[in-house]
């Protein structure tokens, strides 16, 4: 009865050991995959940051053109009406120019902030990818240690069961087996039990 348990213990230990190793490999592969996805997301975020900067620059240029046109219009109206560009009319032009420049700078600032958010997000994605890879590697290492522990535990259990049933370290010749004088393909003696 106990001899029948030993192969079951070995089989269970083998399955648990292999399973632990496979889980570790899967965790490591998943970590690498998550790292690649995070890197791709980081690249996309950096591209979006560049696009935000370019869009803001284009809007700022358009705003500057509109501003120049508006100031030109104001000057033309003042000139047409015969008003000299000093005092209040000059103040109006200066104020208009300042407001237009503030709008242009605001557009650039908004684009820069949006780009900065995307750059920061890219950094977060990269950190997440590195963490996922490290976690996968650590899980694989832990699974190898678990597999070794399972293997050692199985060996100890088999040894314990064998010692309780008296099946360990028995000399086959002492249990009634006889040397037939022949050898198997590995050079080991072929034994036969008496009465068989």
pLDDT, one tens digit per residue, over 129-181 is 999 999 999 999 998 888 888 888 888 888 887 777 665 444 444 455 677 77
131 falls within a domain: yes
Write down the residue that tokens 């996968």 correspond to. Answer: 136
147 falls within a domain: yes
63 falls within a domain: yes
Q: Which residues of 172-194 are buried (b: 16+ CB within 10 A; e: fewer)?
A: eeeeebeeeeeeeeeeeeeeeee
Structural domain total, the chain: 1
174 falls within a domain: no
Q: Which residues of 122-143 are buried (b: 16+ CB within 10 A; e: fewer)?
A: beebbebbeebbebbeebbeeb
pLDDT, one tens digit per residue, over 71-84 is 999 889 888 888 88
pLDDT, one tens digit per residue, over 78-110 is 888 888 878 888 888 899 999 999 999 999 999
Domain that holds residue 70: 2-168
Compute φ and ψ for 153, nearest 5 degrees: -65, -40
124 falls within a domain: yes
């Amino acid at each position: 009865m106990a001899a029948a348990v030993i192969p079951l213990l070995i089989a269970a230990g083998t399955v648990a050991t292999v399973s632990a190793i496979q889980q570790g490999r899967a965790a490591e592969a998943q970590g690498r995959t998550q790292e690649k996805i995070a890197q791709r997301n980081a690249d996309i975020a950096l591209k979006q940051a560049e696009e935000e900067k370019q869009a803001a620059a284009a809007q700022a240029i358009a705003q500057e053109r509109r501003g120049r046109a508006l100031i030109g219009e104001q000057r033309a109206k003042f000139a047409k009406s015969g008003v000299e560009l000093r005092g209040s009319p000059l103040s109006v032009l200066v104020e208009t120019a300042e407001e237009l420049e503030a709008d242009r700078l605001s557009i650039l600032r908004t684009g820069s902030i949006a780009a900065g958010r995307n750059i920061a997000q890219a950094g977060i994605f990269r950190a997440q990818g590195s963490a996922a890879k490290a976690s996968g590697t650590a899980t694989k290492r832990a699974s190898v240690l678990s597999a070794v522990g399972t293997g050692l535990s199985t060996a100890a259990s088999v040894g314990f069961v064998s010692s309780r049933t008296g099946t360990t370290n028995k000399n086959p010749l002492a249990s009634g087996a006889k040397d037939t004088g022949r050898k198997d393909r590995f050079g080991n003696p072929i034994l036969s039990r008496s009465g068989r």
